[in-house]
Amino acid sequence: MIKLGVLLPLATTACAAQTEQPLTIVSGKPSASPRALRYAEAAGVLAGRPGTMGIIVWDRQSNTFWREGDTAHPTWTASTVKLAIVTSLLEQARTHKITLSGADHQDVAAVLDVSDDNAATRLWNKCGKDKLVPRFRQAYGMTGLTFVDGFPRFWGHMKCTAEDLMRLMAYVLEKVNPQDREFLLDRMRHVGAIQQWGAWAAGPSQQPGVKNGWSIEPDGGQKHWVANTVGFAGPGARYAIAAMYDLPAGKTIDDGVHAVSDVIATIFGQVVPAKVTVPDPSTGL
């Protein structure tokens, strides 16, 4: 089903009291516009997939959302939360709370380019470790972000929803200092092959940017893959994109990467199966 909703004012999207409110549905039927028809086709691509996927596309020009699947399903964040970590690092540096060394800049580049886990851990430690999370929730709007019970309070042990990732992307696009925003968007547009899937599947003409996350996680006594993407596409980053796919046990990273990418490729009129790079399963997070 096509679901177009009116976006809450951006000034309030980071407030827990506002973000928990449902969006108003203004159209429950697809129109005849090419984009609406692609949304309907994308819903068909998603339909019947095993596991739980939720995807949101926000058209910042028309101020509308398209949602499909379960966008409120808590899913392991994997490396998508690294976008929040780097954003916090840049904000702390700009307000002179921390000073970034040459090594820190190299770590930022490695996190955004190839999703380097060791670099992310060093930045997590420098920025404040789990003390960062209240800001992620309150300022970035990631109200559903939680640490997973039974695991250390570490960046790699959290869950959130596609709604949380969309609010994070909205914060980066609308609230971050303009110079820092341009830096983040530029780096997200020039990621290494390991991250060239998910929102990347919007196609080169859309100048997409992405921060992906993929990992094997334990739930219900079984291990399973998650394949998540947060990013943007279109002129001036018109479209913000967030998708999380909680695969069932027995499915592979290939299944996750292709499923998420094919839905996004369909939305943006690209060939399906989407031309993507599937990460080496041994890379994790």
CB burial string 206-229: b at 16+ within 10 A, e below: bbbbbbbbbbbbebeeeebbbbbb
Average pLDDT over residues 172-177: 98
Residue type present at position 69: G
pTM of the model: 0.89
pLDDT tens-digit readout, 149-161: 999 999 999 999 9
What is d(CA 220, CA 238) in angstroms, rounded to the nearest whole number? Answer: 39
Q: How many CB atoms are located within 10 Å of the residue 89 CB?
A: 24
pLDDT tens-digit readout, 236-280: 999 999 999 999 999 999 999 999 999 999 999 999 999 999 998
Contact status, residue 249 vs residue 223, Cβ threshold 8 Å: yes
What is d(CA 59, CA 21) in angstroms, rounded to the nearest whole number? Answer: 19
CATH number of the domain at 4-267, please?
3.40.710.10
Q: Please indicate whether residue 19 or residue 29 has the higher confidence score (pLDDT).
A: 29
Instruction: Kindly state the tokens that stand for 178.
Output: 């303009």
What is d(CA 227, CA 239) in angstroms, rounded to the nearest whole number? Answer: 20
Q: What is the CB-side half-sphere exposure of residue 260 using CA atoms within 13 A?
A: 40
CA 8 vs. chain centroid, Å, equals 19
Average pLDDT over residues 164-173: 98
Q: What pLDDT, on the 0 to 100 scale, is given for residue 209? A: 98
Instruction: Kindly state the tokens that stand for 91.
Output: 């904000």
